[in-house]
Structure formats: structure tokens, C-alpha cells
Structure 1
Amino acid sequence: MEPVAFNIFGLQIRWYGIFIATGVLLGVLLVKRNCKMKEIDFDVMFDTFFISFLIAILGARLYYVIFNFQYYKNDLWSAINIREGGLAIHGGVIFGLTAAYIYIKKKGQKFLKFADVVAPSLILAQGIGRWGNFFNGEAHGGPVTYEFIKHFPRFIQKGMYIEGVYYHPTFLYESIWDIVVCILLINILKRTFIDGIALFSYIGLYSLGRFFIEGLRTDSLMFGSIRMAQLISILGIVSCVAFLVYIKNRRT
């Protein structure tokens, strides 16, 4: 697929950036809706989002560069150039939530209540952003046969045909999973008043899907022989289960 959508005065506008921007915009609109539903001050939420989003982008890039340091150590410009991809979702989530926690606590607000409202938007943005990986020809899985890939739409087949080989469209698997989880989180948010339940459901459900999808990918960030995304996913699942057990014990 062609990674460049169009040019403006010689500046390339890439699909990667367009999909990230679209995901963020739709996420903000969903947050506004959920703030109204949960009676949360949207102005405070928007300020929190603006700060945490910038930190999340920096964190996502830093996380990616650290685990590819041998590639970037002699090319500082490439290390800060994100136009061609190279943002690690786990780094963005960790840094973004940390920044949001600090800011919200300084405002004297309840972090878990705010985080619950933003959780559906976060995974919605992730699901849309994955399509940027598709146009960059990255975040795909290992080789597959035509008999396998022929069941997908033609444009997916074309995009996953790289240098004479068809590959698993793992970006698509994760995008679909993210949208499904987003719908589940919206329903959880509507039906429960337990602070933290939507946030930890997001962490657990996203981690569950990511663990299996990551096993199919060929570009995983590694820590020795361990796929970092799978390790973080295990920690995410454990934290979700621990939170649910805590809530159950607290209510009995």
C-alpha cells in the first residue's frame, strides 16, 4: 500500500498520521459523550487528555527506540522522526496514564473515575490507529498461503502481499479486537458504578487479545528471547484479575 496520502507544498501527509489523528478525534468525541453520561467535567478531562496525549506520544516513541537502540544510536534524527511509524502502544499507555494520574491528583479528582471514562476512547483510538500500520506495511504477522489470505477483502490481500509473500494481517486482528473491546467497555461503563472497573477491564481484555496476536507478529520488540508485548500483556491480565478479586472481596 502507498504510505503517503497526499502532498501539501511538498510536505508528505502520511496515512499513518491521518489514522492516528482520526482515532484521537473520535476518541475525544466519545470521551465527551461518556463525561456527560457519568457527570464528569469535560473541561478538566480535555486538559488531562491534552497533557497525557503529548506525554503518551513521547513515551511510545521512547519505548520503541529503547528496544531498537542499536538501530537508532547513530542516527538521532531517525530516533525522533515518527512520521514513518515506530510508536509502541504499551509505552504510550504507560506514560500517558502516568501523566494523567499526576495531573488529576493535583486537581484533587479521582483518577479511577476519570480513567474509566477515557478507557473506551483509548482502545477505540488504538483500533483505528492500527490501520496506519497497514499503510506503512508494518505490524504484520508471518507468511501465510494464498488459500488463507484469499478469504480477506482484496485490498487486504494486496496490502499483505510484500515482496512476493503474503503475510498475516495482524493489524486487522488487533483492530477488530480493539473495536469489540471498546463496545464492551461502553456497556460496562453504563451498567456499573464501581470506580476502576472499566479501566482494568480495558487493561485485561486488551492484554488478552494482544498476547495471542503478538505471537503471530514478526516485528516484536524483544527483551532477550522474550516478546515484551507478551510480557506486558501477562502483567496486564494479572492486574485485571487481581483488581476483580479485590472488588469481590471488598463487597463481601
Structure 2
Amino acid sequence: MEENFQPIDPVAFSLGPLQVHWYGIIIGLGIALALWLAMREADRRGLDKDLFPDLMLWAIPISILCARIYYVIFQWDYYSQNPGEILSIWNGGIAIHGALIGAVATAYVFAKKKNVSFWKLADIAAPSIILGQAIGRWGNFINQEAHGGEVSRAFLENLMLPEFIINQMYINGAYYHPTFLYESIWNLAGFALLLLLRKVNLGRGELFLSYVIWYSIGRFFVEGLRTDSLMLTESLRMAQTISIVLIVVAIALWGYRRVKGYSSIRYLEKG
């Protein structure tokens, strides 16, 4: 039976010929809140809080560029035939793993230039990053993308979801898993966990590594439900592969840094 639901308009408002999309507004909100939290924590940890706005001036454009490049590379069959759409990020199609690669690389170079510890910056930023990711997933909701396989309306109703989410998950005549929501909730839980871990006497770098492990576990399972995965091979999903690699590398780095004494400075210590 055909449902008569109107999806949410992805365009929030127009200024003459310029269209402002909800996707960009939501991503911007996530970045702004993440930056505010990082600045607060930097100040509390005895760092110049202006370090993070300075870092973001470089990290935001580089991360967006890397996220788009990453996505386009793994969808090259399509974009090679539609090169005019390569820059159309307002239609979606930025890969979070690409963004994280760009952000971490930028932060590492930035920390070296400013003569501050990269791991200290990463620990401070970790809760902000995962909160920004939780908010950003709602941009996928507006665009009706990054969803999972087909389900029934009854399935969604049994999840006790609000009507506006159920209706937005009705796409081209069928209902779909709201995988954007699953990952958003997982990331919000990770944000709460990282705030709790700030009160634990972890070694330097271990809060950030906790973020990498937590996020990667959730992403691995959520990715398995999605229908739009970037594929490494015909049967191997790129995001799941990267998630496994990140978990292994993070655990190995945790152990290595402990053995070598690189994490002897604790997060609760100012220094």
C-alpha cells in the first residue's frame, strides 16, 4: 500500500539562488558544539584554549576534502561518469573515516608546529569528536541516506520511534533500518563513557584510543546493516575492514605505549 508521507525537505531555506541544506547546518552545529567542548577542556587542562580554533581552521577544510576524496575513490565507477557531481557534498557522500584520517594527520602536524603533545590534544578532543559524529548522523537522516535494509513499519513502531523518524524512513515505497540512529545512539553512549573515563587516571593518549576502539566496534556492527557501504572487494565492506584495523592498532598502541612508558603522564595530571 502506498504511504502518503512527504519527506523532510533537505533544503532548510534559500537566499536568492543560494540553497542552505539541513545537512550542512547539522554538520556545522556538530562542529561548533565539539569545538566549544574542546576549548572548555583545554582551558581546564592548562592549555591555551585558542589552540583548538586555530587547529580547526586547518582541520575542517582538510577533513572535508579527505572525506570527499575517500568517498569518491570508492565510488569512482559512478563519479568517473558524473564528474560534475564530485563537489556536490550537499547531496551527501562524505566518508567519516576519510575525515578522521585528515583530522588526525592535521592535528599531528599542528601539534609539532605548536610544540605541544599530539596525544594531549587528542585526549582533550576525543569526547568532542564522538559527540560531533553523533550529531552529524542526523544529516544522513534528513537526506534519507546511510540507511539499512528493508524492514516493516511494524518493526520500526516496535522500536518505539517517534512518528517523524518512521515516516522519514519510508523511501521509494519501503521502510528501512534507521542505521543513522543506531550509530548516533552508540556515539552518544561513547560520549558519556569518555566523560566518565576523564575521571579515571588513564595514561596520556588512552582516552583517545578508547574513543577509537569504542567507535570502531559500533561502526563495524552498524555497517553490516547498511545497504550503501563502500566496498573494498565484492564481499568486503571498507568501513568494517577499517574498523577492525583501527581496533587492533589502538589496542597494540595502548600496550606499546604502556611498555615503553610513553603513557606515564596521566590524563588527570596537568602537563
How does the TM-score come out when normalised to structure 2? 0.89
d(CA) in 2 for partners of 1:171 and 1:239? 26
Question: Hey, which of these two has a bigger chunk of helix by percent?
Answer: 1
- The answer to whether the 8 A contact 2:39-2:50 is kept is no
How does the TM-score come out when normalised to structure 1? 0.95
d(CA) in 2 for partners of 1:246 and 1:112? 14
SS of match in other structure, 1:12 = strand
Structure 2 gap segments, 5+ residues each: 1-7, 265-271
Aligned twin of 2:223: 214
Shift of 1:164: 1.6
Matches within 5 A, 1:123-138: 123-138=130-145
- The answer to whether the 8 A contact 2:122-2:205 is kept is yes
d(CA) in 1 for partners of 2:258 and 2:110? 29
Residues matched between the structures, number: 252
Shift of 1:193: 5.0
d(CA) in 1 for partners of 2:38 and 2:12? 28
- The answer to whether the 8 A contact 2:131-2:187 is kept is yes
CA offsets 1:178-235 (integer angstroms, 9 cap, x no match): 1111121122223335210111011100000000000000000001121000001001
d(CA) in 1 for partners of 2:228 and 2:185? 20
The alpha-carbon distance between structure 1 residues 9 and 190, as it changes in their structure 2 partners (threshold 3 A), is farther
d(CA) in 2 for partners of 1:186 and 1:55? 27
Identity in percent: 48
Matches within 5 A, 1:135-150: 135-150=142-157
d(CA) in 2 for partners of 1:189 and 1:59? 30
Shift of 1:77: 2.6
Aligned twin of 2:246: 236
Matches within 5 A, 1:37-48: 37-48=44-55
SS of match in other structure, 1:222 = coil
d(CA) in 2 for partners of 1:2 and 1:80? 21
Structure 1 gap segments, 5+ residues each: none
1:113 to 120, 123, 128: 120
Shift of 1:149: 0.7
